[in-house]
């Protein structure tokens, strides 16, 4: 019987040590992933300045996200969701270190509950980012292309026109694709509503495409070198710039979120193993002290 008790105690100690080691390793990786996710959330938030204009959000909101949710509004809150997921991951990681160092059963149980909470939120974060990527793949290009055809010029009050004028400034671009003289893209704007509304048939781009234009004068500016001769216009296509912006960090966020999700799933279970080991060892010690 004594040998059996010693073996059981040894098994629980071994199990507890393994649990502690795994918890520390998982918390280290989760800490790094949380910091990485936080950095990605900050970068996403900084990029929002280019797409947060009300008129541009209206264009993006033509894309249905899920149910009554629309892409434009959802994309604006996405960085906050990513940052919240990162914050919870960091709390779990720090709590894990404290719980293992102190070997307190209540802290270990609290760690498991926080890991479960963070896991649930990380699932929401991952799902939102994944749906966002799918919408970028399936709907973004056709929505941007359609809105470009609605462009009416710098004097228009149509939301899509105002959005595109601001896009030309924010992304330092012109047209859906690049506008280049003596190429097939020479008449890039001929599919837009502006083409038929031009006051001068020699104009190939609106003044909002000109490098000399500013947000305060683009609707009154006259620049023949830019509008007619295409010498001083912005020579980058807008779609490639928009596509790059939306895709730049999305895949990285998905990978980090998935990795954090997996670690948090383990941290829901492992603390209970450590907790059981700590409780068993304390029970054995009390039993031995009582019968010595």
Q: Give tens-digit pLDDT for 59-76.
A: 999 998 877 788 988 999
Does the pLDDT of residue 169 top 50, yes or no? yes
Same domain for 90 and 197? no
Same domain for 264 and 121? yes
- CA dist 225 and 222 (Å) reads 9
- CA dist 220 and 207 (Å) reads 8
pLDDT of residue 285: 53
Confidence of residue 4 (pLDDT cuts 50, 70, 90): very low
Most confident range, picked from 14-28, 175-189, 201-215, 245-259: 245-259
pLDDT > 70: percent of the chain: 86
Structural domain ending residue among the three candidates 235, 252, 275: 235
Structural domain ending residue among the three candidates 218, 235, 252: 235
The domain of 199 spans 174-235
- CA dist 174 and 185 (Å) reads 11
pLDDT of residue 113: 92
Structural domain ending residue among the three candidates 192, 211, 235: 235
pLDDT of residue 277: 65
- CA dist 228 and 246 (Å) reads 32
Q: What's the structural domain count of the chain? A: 2
Please state the separation of Cα 235 from the chain's center in Å: 29
The string of pLDDT tens digits covering residues 173-183 is 998 988 776 55
**Secondary structure class of 210 (helix, strand, coil):** strand
- CA dist 85 and 81 (Å) reads 6
Instruction: Name which of 17-26, 128-137, 179-188 the model is least confident about.
Output: 179-188
């Amino acid at each position: 019987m004594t040998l059996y008790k010693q073996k059981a105690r040894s098994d629980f100690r071994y199990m507890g040590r393994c649990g502690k080691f795994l918890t520390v390793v998982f918390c280290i990786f989760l800490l790094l992933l949380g910091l990485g996710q936080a950095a990605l959330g900050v970068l996403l938030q900084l990029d929002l300045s280019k797409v947060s204009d009300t008129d541009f959000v209206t264009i993006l909101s033509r894309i249905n996200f899920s149910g009554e949710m629309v892409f434009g509004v959802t994309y604006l809150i996405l960085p906050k969701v990513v940052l919240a997921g990162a914050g919870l991951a960091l709390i779990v990681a720090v709590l894990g270190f404290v719980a293992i160092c102190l070997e307190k059963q209540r802290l270990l149980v609290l760690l498991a509950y926080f890991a479960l909470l963070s896991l649930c939120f990380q699932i929401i974060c991952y799902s939102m980012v994944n749906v966002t990527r799918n919408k970028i793949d399936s709907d973004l290009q056709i929505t941007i292309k359609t809105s470009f055809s609605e462009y009416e010029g710098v004097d228009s009050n149509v939301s899509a026109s105002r959005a595109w004028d601001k896009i030309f400034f924010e992304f330092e671009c012109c047209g859906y694709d690049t506008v280049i003289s003596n190429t097939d893209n020479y008449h890039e704007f001929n599919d837009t509503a502006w083409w038929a509304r031009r006051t001068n048939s020699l104009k190939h781009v609106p003044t909002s495409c000109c490098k000399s234009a500013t947000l305060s004068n683009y609707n009154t500016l006259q620049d023949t070198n830019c509008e007619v001769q295409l010498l001083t216009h912005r020579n980058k296509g807008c779609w490639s710039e928009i596509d790059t912006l939306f895709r730049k960090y999305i895949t990285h966020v998905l990978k980090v979120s998935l990795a954090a999700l997996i670690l948090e799933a383990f941290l829901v279970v492992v603390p209970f193993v450590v907790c059981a080991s700590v409780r068993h060892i304390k029970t054995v010690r009390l039993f031995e002290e009582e019968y010595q």
